[in-house]
Amino acid sequence: MGRFFLLFFLLLTTISPLKAASLDEEPSEAMVRVIAKDLRCAVCQNQSVYESNSDLAKDMLEIIREKVNAGDSEAAIRDYFFQRYGDYIYLEPTKKGMNLLLWFGPLAGLLIGGLALMAAFKKWHKKSAEVKPKAEINEDMQDRIAKELKDIEV
């Protein structure tokens, strides 16, 4: 009897995800989702229009849905929101103008820092490689060393 319930439970848990995955979504709604996931909610902090629950995000999602149903292209819809909100509306910054600094600034900083570190290591290595000439030990110095060694041993 226990095996029957286990088999029944296993069957229920495997069939429901398969059935949910087989449901077809309208192509227009899929396009709405793709566009809304790339646009930032104007009142939320780093949340897409698709994920946000704010009233503005719901209105923006409805505008996207209307424009998709009207046959507007994805680029035209993105441009519509860009004209109203600027670059801020995109979750991922565009690769134009001052935004290039966002994309390539960290790499440039790493390269400059690495070059500066290499130059510092070379400078430090050069200083450590310069060996000061050893002072010559004369007879007086040898006698003094021998005397101090005897004092230590006693």
Is the pLDDT reported for residue 46 higher than 80? yes
For the domain made up of 24-89, the CATH class stated in words is mainly alpha
Q: What is the mean pLDDT of residues 52-59?
A: 90
Q: What is the mean pLDDT of residues 140-151?
A: 89
Output the pLDDT for position 100: 81
How would residue 22 be classed by pLDDT, with cut points 50, 70 and 90? very low
Kindly report the length of the chain. 154
What pTM does this model have?
Answer: 0.52
Output the pLDDT for position 65: 92
Say if residues 39 and 47 touch (Cβ distance below 8 Å).
no
Give the 3-state secondary structure of the chain. CHHHHHHHHHHHHHHHHHHHHHCCCCHHHHHHHHHHHHEECCCCCCCECCCCCCHHHHHHHHHHHHHHHCCCCHHHHHHHHHHHHHHHHECCCCCCCCHHHHHHHHHHHHHHHHHHHHHHHHHHHHHHHCCCCCCCCCHHHHHHHHHHHHHHHC
Q: Give the tens place of pLDDT for each residue, 94-133.
A: 777 777 887 788 999 999 999 999 999 988 887 776 666 6
Burial of 143 (0-12, 13-18, 19+ CB in 10 A): exposed
Output the pLDDT for position 17: 55
